[in-house]
Amino acid sequence: MNFFQIVSAAMPQLIKGAQLTVWYSIASIILATVLGLAFALLKLSRFAILRRIGEIYVHIFRGLPLLVEIFYIYFAIPMILPMHKWFDPYFTPIAGIIALALNEGAYITEIIRAGILAVDRGQSEAALSIGMTGPQTMRFIILPQAFKRMVPPLVNQFIQTIKDTSLLSAISVTELTRSGQIIISTNFASLQIWTAIAAVYLIIILLLTALSGYLERRWQIDKR
Protein backbone atom coordinates (compact mmCIF):
# COMPACT_ATOMS: atom_id res chain seq x y z
CA MET A 1 0.00 0.00 0.00
CA ASN A 2 1.31 3.44 -0.79
CA PHE A 3 1.07 6.57 1.36
CA PHE A 4 -2.27 7.74 0.01
CA GLN A 5 -3.91 4.38 0.36
CA ILE A 6 -2.84 4.10 3.99
CA VAL A 7 -3.96 7.59 4.83
CA SER A 8 -7.27 7.38 3.00
CA ALA A 9 -8.05 4.10 4.71
CA ALA A 10 -7.42 5.75 8.07
CA MET A 11 -9.23 8.97 7.16
CA PRO A 12 -12.73 8.16 8.43
CA GLN A 13 -11.35 7.36 11.88
CA LEU A 14 -9.04 10.37 11.87
CA ILE A 15 -11.90 12.65 10.92
CA LYS A 16 -13.97 11.29 13.78
CA GLY A 17 -11.06 12.05 16.08
CA ALA A 18 -10.67 15.52 14.57
CA GLN A 19 -14.34 16.20 15.22
CA LEU A 20 -13.86 15.34 18.88
CA THR A 21 -10.78 17.56 18.98
CA VAL A 22 -12.85 20.42 17.61
CA TRP A 23 -15.71 19.90 20.06
CA TYR A 24 -13.38 19.61 23.04
CA SER A 25 -11.59 22.74 21.88
CA ILE A 26 -14.78 24.75 21.47
CA ALA A 27 -16.19 23.67 24.82
CA SER A 28 -13.00 24.34 26.75
CA ILE A 29 -12.33 27.65 24.95
CA ILE A 30 -15.81 28.91 25.86
CA LEU A 31 -15.49 27.77 29.46
CA ALA A 32 -11.93 29.08 29.72
CA THR A 33 -13.01 32.50 28.43
CA VAL A 34 -15.81 32.68 30.99
CA LEU A 35 -13.37 31.69 33.74
CA GLY A 36 -10.77 34.12 32.42
CA LEU A 37 -13.20 37.05 32.41
CA ALA A 38 -14.49 36.21 35.89
CA PHE A 39 -11.05 35.87 37.45
CA ALA A 40 -9.70 38.91 35.59
CA LEU A 41 -12.49 40.99 37.14
CA LEU A 42 -11.69 39.46 40.54
CA LYS A 43 -8.02 40.36 40.13
CA LEU A 44 -9.02 43.94 39.33
CA SER A 45 -11.45 44.20 42.24
CA ARG A 46 -10.96 46.86 44.86
CA PHE A 47 -11.42 44.21 47.55
CA ALA A 48 -8.17 42.54 48.58
CA ILE A 49 -9.79 39.20 49.32
CA LEU A 50 -11.25 38.92 45.80
CA ARG A 51 -7.94 39.94 44.26
CA ARG A 52 -6.26 37.26 46.31
CA ILE A 53 -8.70 34.59 45.07
CA GLY A 54 -7.88 35.56 41.48
CA GLU A 55 -4.15 35.44 42.19
CA ILE A 56 -4.37 31.99 43.76
CA TYR A 57 -6.35 30.63 40.82
CA VAL A 58 -3.81 31.87 38.29
CA HIS A 59 -0.91 30.74 40.42
CA ILE A 60 -2.16 27.17 40.73
CA PHE A 61 -3.52 26.51 37.28
CA ARG A 62 -0.78 28.31 35.39
CA GLY A 63 1.82 26.82 37.68
CA LEU A 64 1.08 23.14 37.11
CA PRO A 65 1.77 21.06 34.02
CA LEU A 66 -1.48 20.55 32.14
CA LEU A 67 -1.00 16.79 32.16
CA VAL A 68 -0.78 16.81 35.96
CA GLU A 69 -4.00 18.82 36.14
CA ILE A 70 -5.75 16.39 33.82
CA PHE A 71 -4.61 13.39 35.88
CA TYR A 72 -5.47 15.16 39.11
CA ILE A 73 -9.04 15.83 38.07
CA TYR A 74 -9.51 12.50 36.33
CA PHE A 75 -7.76 10.13 38.77
CA ALA A 76 -7.03 11.92 42.04
CA ILE A 77 -10.20 13.82 42.89
CA PRO A 78 -12.51 10.79 42.34
CA MET A 79 -10.63 9.12 45.22
CA ILE A 80 -12.30 11.52 47.65
CA LEU A 81 -15.31 12.71 45.64
CA PRO A 82 -17.07 10.03 43.57
CA MET A 83 -17.51 12.42 40.63
CA HIS A 84 -16.98 9.63 38.15
CA LYS A 85 -20.18 8.03 39.46
CA TRP A 86 -22.22 11.25 39.49
CA PHE A 87 -21.36 12.07 35.89
CA ASP A 88 -21.21 8.54 34.51
CA PRO A 89 -20.95 7.95 31.57
CA TYR A 90 -19.87 11.49 30.76
CA PHE A 91 -17.12 11.82 33.35
CA THR A 92 -14.23 11.52 30.91
CA PRO A 93 -15.29 14.39 28.62
CA ILE A 94 -16.37 16.51 31.58
CA ALA A 95 -13.10 16.00 33.44
CA GLY A 96 -11.13 16.65 30.26
CA ILE A 97 -12.94 19.85 29.40
CA ILE A 98 -12.78 21.15 32.97
CA ALA A 99 -9.05 20.44 33.24
CA LEU A 100 -8.34 22.17 29.95
CA ALA A 101 -10.59 25.12 30.74
CA LEU A 102 -9.10 25.66 34.20
CA ASN A 103 -5.59 25.68 32.75
CA GLU A 104 -6.26 27.87 29.70
CA GLY A 105 -8.53 30.09 31.81
CA ALA A 106 -5.56 31.04 33.99
CA TYR A 107 -3.69 32.34 30.95
CA ILE A 108 -6.81 34.03 29.60
CA THR A 109 -7.28 35.73 32.98
CA GLU A 110 -3.99 37.52 32.46
CA ILE A 111 -4.76 38.33 28.82
CA ILE A 112 -8.08 39.92 29.74
CA ARG A 113 -6.63 41.72 32.75
CA ALA A 114 -3.85 43.18 30.62
CA GLY A 115 -6.40 44.20 27.98
CA ILE A 116 -8.54 46.01 30.53
CA LEU A 117 -5.54 47.75 32.10
CA ALA A 118 -4.38 48.91 28.67
CA VAL A 119 -7.52 51.02 28.20
CA ASP A 120 -6.71 54.62 29.03
CA ARG A 121 -7.85 55.75 32.49
CA GLY A 122 -9.50 58.76 30.91
CA GLN A 123 -12.07 56.47 29.32
CA SER A 124 -13.39 55.25 32.64
CA GLU A 125 -13.17 58.73 34.14
CA ALA A 126 -15.28 60.08 31.29
CA ALA A 127 -17.81 57.26 31.70
CA LEU A 128 -18.05 57.79 35.46
CA SER A 129 -18.42 61.51 34.87
CA ILE A 130 -21.61 61.04 32.87
CA GLY A 131 -23.03 59.09 35.78
CA MET A 132 -22.30 55.53 34.74
CA THR A 133 -21.84 53.04 37.55
CA GLY A 134 -18.68 50.94 37.76
CA PRO A 135 -20.27 47.87 36.12
CA GLN A 136 -21.81 50.02 33.35
CA THR A 137 -18.43 51.60 32.69
CA MET A 138 -16.83 48.18 32.45
CA ARG A 139 -19.51 46.78 30.18
CA PHE A 140 -20.19 49.65 27.78
CA ILE A 141 -16.86 51.47 27.70
CA ILE A 142 -13.88 49.44 28.93
CA LEU A 143 -14.56 45.87 27.80
CA PRO A 144 -15.51 46.71 24.19
CA GLN A 145 -12.24 48.61 23.77
CA ALA A 146 -10.18 46.08 25.71
CA PHE A 147 -11.64 43.19 23.73
CA LYS A 148 -10.43 44.48 20.38
CA ARG A 149 -6.90 44.57 21.71
CA MET A 150 -7.22 41.14 23.28
CA VAL A 151 -8.07 39.36 20.03
CA PRO A 152 -4.50 38.55 18.90
CA PRO A 153 -3.31 37.14 22.26
CA LEU A 154 -6.63 35.35 22.75
CA VAL A 155 -6.32 33.66 19.37
CA ASN A 156 -2.84 32.57 20.41
CA GLN A 157 -4.28 31.01 23.52
CA PHE A 158 -7.11 29.36 21.60
CA ILE A 159 -4.55 27.77 19.26
CA GLN A 160 -2.69 26.56 22.32
CA THR A 161 -5.94 25.07 23.63
CA ILE A 162 -6.57 23.17 20.42
CA LYS A 163 -3.10 21.68 20.55
CA ASP A 164 -3.44 20.88 24.25
CA THR A 165 -6.50 18.71 23.61
CA SER A 166 -3.98 16.11 22.39
CA LEU A 167 -3.03 15.57 26.04
CA LEU A 168 -6.53 14.22 26.65
CA SER A 169 -5.36 11.11 24.81
CA ALA A 170 -3.74 10.25 28.15
CA ILE A 171 -7.17 9.73 29.74
CA SER A 172 -8.34 7.79 26.68
CA VAL A 173 -10.40 10.47 24.98
CA THR A 174 -10.31 9.34 21.34
CA GLU A 175 -9.55 12.74 19.92
CA LEU A 176 -7.27 13.14 16.92
CA THR A 177 -4.00 12.08 18.54
CA ARG A 178 -5.47 9.07 20.30
CA SER A 179 -7.34 7.98 17.15
CA GLY A 180 -4.02 8.02 15.34
CA GLN A 181 -2.31 5.99 18.03
CA ILE A 182 -5.05 3.37 17.81
CA ILE A 183 -4.71 3.16 14.03
CA ILE A 184 -0.93 2.84 14.25
CA SER A 185 -1.25 0.04 16.80
CA THR A 186 -2.93 -2.02 14.10
CA ASN A 187 -1.15 -0.98 10.89
CA PHE A 188 2.25 0.18 12.27
CA ALA A 189 2.34 2.97 9.67
CA SER A 190 3.82 5.58 11.99
CA LEU A 191 5.21 7.89 9.32
CA GLN A 192 2.05 8.04 7.24
CA ILE A 193 -0.41 8.37 10.10
CA TRP A 194 1.53 10.93 12.13
CA THR A 195 1.96 12.96 8.94
CA ALA A 196 -1.78 12.85 8.40
CA ILE A 197 -2.44 13.81 12.04
CA ALA A 198 -0.05 16.75 11.80
CA ALA A 199 -1.73 17.91 8.60
CA VAL A 200 -5.19 17.78 10.19
CA TYR A 201 -4.03 19.83 13.21
CA LEU A 202 -2.53 22.42 10.90
CA ILE A 203 -5.75 22.63 8.90
CA ILE A 204 -7.88 23.14 12.02
CA ILE A 205 -5.55 25.87 13.23
CA LEU A 206 -5.43 27.45 9.78
CA LEU A 207 -9.21 27.74 9.84
CA LEU A 208 -9.13 29.42 13.26
CA THR A 209 -6.41 31.80 12.09
CA ALA A 210 -8.47 32.73 9.05
CA LEU A 211 -11.50 33.37 11.24
CA SER A 212 -9.53 35.61 13.57
CA GLY A 213 -8.05 37.49 10.64
CA TYR A 214 -11.56 38.13 9.40
CA LEU A 215 -12.69 39.34 12.85
CA GLU A 216 -9.69 41.63 13.20
CA ARG A 217 -10.44 43.24 9.86
CA ARG A 218 -14.10 43.56 10.70
CA TRP A 219 -13.39 45.26 14.00
CA GLN A 220 -10.68 47.39 12.42
CA ILE A 221 -8.30 46.63 15.20
CA ASP A 222 -5.32 48.48 13.81
CA LYS A 223 -7.36 51.64 13.30
CA ARG A 224 -7.25 52.20 16.98
Partner 1 sequence: MINVNNITKHFGQHRVLHDISLEIKPQEVVVIIGPSGSGKSTFLRCLNGLEKVSDGQIFVNNREITHSKTNLSHVRKEVGMVFQRFNLFHHLSVLENITIGPRKVLKVSQQEAEKRAFTLLEKVGLKEKAGAYPDQLSGGQQQRVAIARALAMNPIVMLFDEPTSALDPEMVGEVLAVMKDLAREGMTMAVVTHEMGFAREVGDRVLFMDDGVIVEENTPNEIFNNPKEERTKLFLSKIL
Residues of the shown chain interacting with partner 1 in the complex, contacts defined by CB under 8 A: 120, 122-123, 125-133, 136, 140-141, 144-145, 148, 223-224
Question: Chain centroid to CA 203: how far?
Answer: 18
Question: What ranges make up the beta strands (E) of the chain?
Answer: none
**Min. distance of Cβ 133 from partner 1 in angstroms?**
5
Question: Chain centroid to CA 24: how far?
Answer: 9
Closest among 100, 116, 110, 118 to 32, alpha carbons compared: 100
**Min. distance of Cβ 220 from partner 1 in angstroms?**
9
Residue 131 — left, alpha, or beta (φ > 0 → left; ψ -120 to 50 → alpha)?
left
Which C-beta is closer to partner 1: that of 48 or that of 80?
48
**Min. distance of Cβ 219 from partner 1 in angstroms?**
9
Residue 220 — left, alpha, or beta (φ > 0 → left; ψ -120 to 50 → alpha)?
left
Which C-beta is closer to partner 1: that of 7 or that of 146?
146
Q: Is residue 133 helix, strand or coil?
A: coil
**Min. distance of Cβ 37 from partner 1 in angstroms?**
18
Which C-beta is closer to partner 1: that of 55 or that of 216?
216
**Min. distance of Cβ 130 from partner 1 in angstroms?**
4
Which C-beta is closer to partner 1: that of 114 or that of 132?
132
Which C-beta is closer to partner 1: that of 53 or that of 128?
128
Q: What is the dihedral of CA 98, 102, 104, 105, to 10 degrees?
A: 120
Distance between CA atoms of residues 30 and 25, nearest Å: 8
